[in-house]
Structure 1
Amino acid sequence: MGLGDAFIHFLEKIGERTIEVSETTILHRIPERATIQERLQLLKQMQEEIEKEKESKKEEELDQILEWRTEVEVREPMMKRLAEALSQQMRGPIEYLAHSIKGLDYDLYRANIKTAPNVYVAQMIIVAIVMGIFSGIFMFLMMFPPDLSVMVGFLGFIAGFLYMRNYPKIVFRSRLSECEKALPYVLRHLASLLSAGVGIAEAMISVANADYGPISEEFELIIKDMRSGASLEDALERFERKMGSENISRVVKQILRAVKFGGNLADILYKLAEDFSFEYRMRLLDYVQKINGFAFIYMFLSVVMPTMFLVAILAASAMSQRLVLPPQGMAVLLLFGFPSLSLLMVVMIKRREPR
């Protein structure tokens, strides 16, 4: 017997053994002395049981799929679901508007907002409509004329649309500020791992897995770029262009220079971390000195000025024996005018905060 015949005989033995095992598992419930009719009846019952088990498994799978879809729908914000529905119903105009808004996709990418441009445009429209409706209703409830209420509602629509257009830029500036604040800690983290003999890629993975806020997310994107086939140099340069920060550009250039030409990268990163920390402390000291004057102006706008305005209006009304300013105008100034000035002051103070 040749080697091929022996192998075929071995496979036949395995097949016979498998058939015997399957037959014993199926027919172990059939008595040995049962008649043919009894055997057929038992086999029919077994077939019905198998079909019921299959149906129950299918029902369980369908229930699991429905539960998963319900969980996904609950997790997604209502705004996103409404925007997706609106983008599907008005697909043509929304896609045209998304293409006509220049730089929207790039702003979403820099802000790390994982939303398609057309869906985001639908969100812009929804927010603008809501703000317009609420503005008009508020002015109408304040007993203003209908034409003025409609005009204020239209202005609210425009304000909501412009706010949503600039929202990705606001998010990006906030992320950039958080990245620059955490940069000294990240550099020390990298330097300590490099001093221990860990490679630059492994050290960057450690930073991505750490909790440094947005900069950990950016390092995770760098690692994803490298895993998708990009080199370390390309991934870091893409990160540098995305952030557009002078400090981050210095760090990227130093890392690439050390990797390309050699050098003690750990010492370089330690030195950069100390430089950034010293610069931040100096800017913070200058900010604290300037904030004292802003605090006095803020107290005047938020407390003293509304009181003086109210006293002046009451005195002028008493002297002329009539209201100098309608109650609606006083309500708008006291509820929106002076708080808006205070909010503007807070924004100015916040924008001067060192990064």
Structure 2
Amino acid sequence: MDGNFFLIMLLMATLLGLVVVALVGPSPEKARKRRVAMIRGRHSDSAEALLEARMRKAISNRSTAIETKMLVSLIPNPENLTQRIRMTGKKWTLSQYMTTSAFIFLGLAGLLMLRGFPPLMALMVGLAAGLALPHWWVGRLINKRITQFNAKFPDALELLTRGLRSGLPIAETLGIVSSEVPGPVGEEFKLITERIKIGRSMEQALQETADRLGTPEFQFFVITLAIQRETGGNLAETLSNLATVLRQRAQMKLKIRAMSSESKASAYIIGALPFLVFGMICYINFNYMEPFFTPDPAGLFGLSLMQVVGIGGFCWMGIGAFIMAQMVNFEI
């Protein structure tokens, strides 16, 4: 009991420290003085002021590089995670993502230990939740934003078509779309126009957006513009046909979702019910479920018969869920 109490106190202290670090930012007065010093050094003519400004810039770049190295060492694939965070459209950072994961891990582990769970099991469950829940939430935001983008993208293509038929250049029509179409479509087209204004070519700006979105609908649009710029032709007619194809594609997806919604709901309920009941029983009366977590040295690989049956059932349920997911997954 003393060891568990000490571990719980350590987790609570770590969680409190993370809260303090997350909520207590840098001093506004120090930040103001630093900005004033940087402005003075930038506009001063003395050699000492210029040298001090260069040293301050080098130190700031060095600290940023050190922080980046620390993030790279803590995250297995920081580039992929950064790409996923950008796909959400939120201005989140890797440090905020890691802090959220640490909050979930420490909070859930401490709660489970307070309920009488073994420390090792509480730490493993907290670690799994800390890694899985932020990943799931980011994926949910990505899917939601892509769905919103695909719903408004045909309207943007039709607006482009009307602008081209009225005699406007493609760059100006992109700016009109960024201001007229709300939601993720307007945001992405605004970024495209801003990149073009700072010197990027249209192909580069469009391809960067296509890589961030990762949707075949926008990739079709990029390929259409690239082919038209090389071969020529009526771009307005091509974009009009593309808008029609994308609308038909969206309608087919909705039909498939409607036809498979009942089967998906049944699969979700049946698949999640055993785990929900198991978790609720463990939370309400862990002593009743304690034999399930007790190893048996004489069993297979040190596992008891209940554990072997549970692992087998979990594997078979996973195989069944995978097969059902593939049966209702259609490529359009």
Fold shared per TM-score above 0.5: yes
After TM superposition, list the pairs within 5 Å mapping 1:308-319 onto structure 2. none
Mark the CA change 1:155 to 1:326 in structure 2 (over 3 Å): closer, same or farther. Answer: closer
Q: Which blocks of at least 5 consecutive residues in structure 1 are unaligned?
A: 1-77, 314-324, 333-340
Output one character per residue of 1:244-284: Cα deviation in whole Å (capped at 9) or x when no partner: 33222221121233344332222111111111111221222
1:140 deviation in Å? 3.3
Paired with 2:119 and 2:144, the residues of 1 have a C-alpha distance of 35
3-state SS of paired residue (2:91): coil
The one-letter code matched in structure 1 to 2:113 is F
1:128 and 1:156 in contact (8 A); partners too: no
Q: Would you say 1:114 and 2:114 are equivalent positions?
A: no
Mark the CA change 1:151 to 1:237 in structure 2 (over 3 Å): closer, same or farther. Answer: same
| Number of the residue aligned with 1:137 | 110
Output one character per residue of 1:189-217: Cα deviation in whole Å (capped at 9) or x when no partner: 21122222222112111111134321211
Larger radius of gyration: 1
CA RMSD in angstroms comes to 4.4
Select which of 244, 248, 270 maps to 2:240. Answer: 270
Mark the CA change 1:298 to 1:329 in structure 2 (over 3 Å): closer, same or farther. Answer: farther
The one-letter code matched in structure 2 to 1:153 is L
Paired with 1:231 and 1:91, the residues of 2 have a C-alpha distance of 30
Mark the CA change 1:138 to 1:330 in structure 2 (over 3 Å): closer, same or farther. Answer: farther
1:208 and 1:217 in contact (8 A); partners too: yes
Q: Would you say 1:195 and 2:141 are equivalent positions?
A: no
1:151 deviation in Å? 3.5
Q: Which blocks of at least 5 consecutive residues in structure 2 are unaligned?
A: 1-18, 27-59, 291-316
After TM superposition, list the pairs within 5 Å mapping 1:329-344 onto structure 2. none
The one-letter code matched in structure 2 to 1:200 is I
1:326 deviation in Å? 7.9
Q: Would you say 1:327 and 2:300 are equivalent positions?
A: no
After TM superposition, list the pairs within 5 Å mapping 1:144-183 onto structure 2. 144=117, 148-149=118-119, 151-161=121-131, 163-164=133-134, 170-183=140-153
Output one character per residue of 1:15-44: Cα deviation in whole Å (capped at 9) or x when no partner: xxxxxxxxxxxxxxxxxxxxxxxxxxxxxx
Paired with 1:83 and 1:154, the residues of 2 have a C-alpha distance of 30
Mark the CA change 1:236 to 1:191 in structure 2 (over 3 Å): closer, same or farther. Answer: same
Mark the CA change 1:80 to 1:173 in structure 2 (over 3 Å): closer, same or farther. Answer: farther
Paired with 1:248 and 1:263, the residues of 2 have a C-alpha distance of 20
| Number of the residue aligned with 2:217 | 247
Output one character per residue of 1:37-61: Cα deviation in whole Å (capped at 9) or x when no partner: xxxxxxxxxxxxxxxxxxxxxxxxx
TM-score (norm 2): 0.57
Paired with 1:168 and 1:296, the residues of 2 have a C-alpha distance of 25
1:193 and 1:203 in contact (8 A); partners too: yes
Mark the CA change 1:294 to 1:142 in structure 2 (over 3 Å): closer, same or farther. Answer: same
